[in-house]
Amino acid sequence: NVRVRTHQTRRGKADSTRFMQKTFWEEYHRASSRPSASHEWFLGPQQCVEVLLQGTLQEICKSKPWRTQERKALNLGCGTSSLGLELAREPLCVAAELHVVNVDFSPIAIEAMRQIQNSD
């Protein structure tokens, strides 16, 4: 028997469909963005990198001949997470010349991440 919990949010009853709306994310990032801080939803970026490197990403980085094929990782819906930055700095990913692409449809989130990246 599975029990599902619904919780109240600041805006009322929880509704996951709001996450599909660009306007939700624009409002979210406008209200919560601090140019000097990234936001992680579940795990810290280093924990995520460790999980990713235990599986498929490790195989991609270690596969041969990686010098003749461009390696890419897509971080879709990156928001203000620093996962993509941390992944790009990981020694195995650097050695494999992995190109990490962070994509989000919120210009506010992208600009915040540019500021964070430029401050490093």
Bin 70: left if φ > 0, else alpha if -120 < ψ < 50, else beta.
beta
Judge if pTM exceeds 0.85: no
pLDDT grade for 48, boundaries at 50, 70 and 90 = confident
Q: What is the mean pLDDT of the chain?
A: 77
CA distances from 77 to 13, 74, 109 (A): 24, 9, 10
* Average pLDDT of span 100-113: 88
